[in-house]
Amino acid sequence: MDLYSLTIHEAHELLKKREISSVELASAVFDRIGQVDDKVCAYLTPAKDRAMADAGAADELIRRGEMRPLTGIPLAIKDILCTEGIRTTCGSKILEDFIPPYSSTVAKKLADAHAVIAGKTNLDEFAMGSSTEHSAFMPTHNPWDLTRIPGGSSGGSAAAVAADECIGAIGTDTGGSIRQPCSHCGAVGLKPTYGRVSRFGLVAFASSLDQIGPITKDVTDCALLMNEICGHDPMDSTSVSRSVPDYTEALRPGLQGLVVGIPKEYRAEGMDEDVTEAVTAAIKVIEGLGARCKEVSLPHTQYALATYYLIAPAEASSNLARYDGVKYGFRDNTADDLTQMYQNTRSNGFGPEVQRRIIIGTYALSAGYYEAYYGKASQVRTLIIEDFKRTFETCDVLLSPVTPTPAFKLGEKLDDPLAMYLSDIFTLPANLAGIPGLSVPCGFSKQGLPIGLQILGKHFDEEKLIRVAYNFEQATDYHTRRPRL
């Protein structure tokens, strides 16, 4: 048995029975990283020495009977969450050498649960991208086909899970950045309701859209990670003071009485035939499990892409103003005056996609244009929220594709930003509305590439998403397949 191929719950049981140790498990994961990460490029900063020390400490806790579900489990964290003493780059040259003096709330929760942090994973710079090609350091490759993208921006975390370079991982989702790479890599990914997971210590891209969530090998692991990372945090003013259920209680059979909506607007022109077939077949499986499916309408979906690409860049423009070469991070020392130093630092420190979004956002917020662009986008966002609220009055969940196509070739859309943005067309409405969304493997293309099914629910109804995903997973075998590297 290859220990690195275990799920969180499988590894937990073996650790609990003392059939394996956390040190053995972590060693197997780092051996796997050594074997395949030169091909996949999932990690920016492996943290082996610290991880092995933490694994030894976890083994001592297990010996004393002080064990929690994540104790001794090697996990990876997207490199946009601050980790005290471990480099946090955000995939950007401007933070290439930044070592945070504190940890994000989520990283701290994982440490308190005695998980083992294997390292920090690659991402599109400041989480701005859909392919993990916009990292300042290297692109990540899809473990199913190394010539293709893993999705983004949490591509490093999704690829690490798919390639068995960790037992589970943490990603972030601003417009689909957990769900889209999980669809492309054959993993399970959940974007929780906005406010369900603390954003303290998450380096901000778009503050009203960003959310942290789990990336795992199966739905059971997703529930286990959700149990640990959710909850109110006074350090985050947007964190919701609401009790956290035990998500593992949603792992029960049967979907009888569930009403499932199929949004007619989530059928994009030019949608890949394999995606259509896989999602259609998945809907039939869910009907066969007792759910009742019906067509619904979300009429303002057509405006979601334009709305998102005004709101997200506007917030990014504001959030990234702090990177000026003065307080921390990269500083260009060739300038003769302060203004030139600012210009050179930001021009040389930020990559082209980040610069593009800062320019779009600054324009949308500028005097004379604010009401016409950002203000109008905020009004349309409200209409999108109302669409979902109205639909959830008669439906428990919605089903749709995660992406219009399977993973595309590396470099295929780098010179066409609009084509890249369109790959998030099915995921970003959930971020605008703040509702939870989950991607679960539902098939493969003719080229053997994974395809994901998206399950959307009402605010704070993650349990229902997990229940539907779990039942679908138990009725199929897509989650059991692994890429050959």
Does 413 score more than 90 pLDDT?
yes
Q: What is the pLDDT of residue 117?
A: 98
pTM: 0.98
pLDDT range class, residue 210, cuts 50, 70, 90: very high
Q: Indicate which residues carry an active-site annotation.
A: 78, 153, 177
More confident residue, 39 or 269: 39
Long-range CB contact pairs, 361-366, < 8 A, 24+: 361/312, 361/313, 361/314, 361/315, 361/316, 361/317, 361/318, 362/317, 364/310, 364/313, 364/314, 364/317, 365/314, 365/317, 365/318
Q: What is the pLDDT of residue 267?
A: 87
Does 275 score more than 90 pLDDT?
yes
CB 43 within 8 A of CB 120: yes
Q: What is the pLDDT of residue 327?
A: 85
Residues 6+ apart with CB under 8 A from 428: 175, 176, 304, 305, 308
Q: What is the pLDDT of residue 418?
A: 87
Summarize pLDDT for 116-130 with one digit per residue, the tens.
Answer: 999 999 999 999 999
Q: What is the pLDDT of residue 80?
A: 98
Q: What is the pLDDT of residue 1?
A: 79
Find out if CATH 2.40.50.660 is the number for domain 3-257+395-480. no
Q: What is the pLDDT of residue 231?
A: 98
Q: Does an H or E element contain 34, and which?
A: helix 22-40
Gap between the Cα atoms of 381 and 300, Å rounded? 9
Does 269 score more than 90 pLDDT?
no
Percent with pLDDT over 70 in the chain: 100
Mean pLDDT of the chain: 97
DSSP string over 355-412: HHHHHHHHHHHSTTTTIIIIIHHHHHHHHHHHHHHHHTTT-SEEEEESSSSSPPBTTS
Averaged pLDDT, 298-317: 97
Does 241 score more than 90 pLDDT?
yes
Gap between the Cα atoms of 457 and 455, Å rounded? 7
Q: What is the pLDDT of residue 340?
A: 95
Q: What is the pLDDT of residue 106?
A: 98
Name the DSSP letter for residue 264: T
Does 87 score more than 90 pLDDT?
yes
pLDDT range class, residue 270, cuts 50, 70, 90: confident
Domain locations in the chain? Answer: 3-257+395-480
Of the candidates 15, 48, 199, the residue with the CA atom closest to the CA atom of residue 116? 48
Averaged pLDDT, 84-106: 97
Residues 6+ apart with CB under 8 A from 269: none
Does 90 score more than 90 pLDDT?
yes
Averaged pLDDT, 413-424: 91
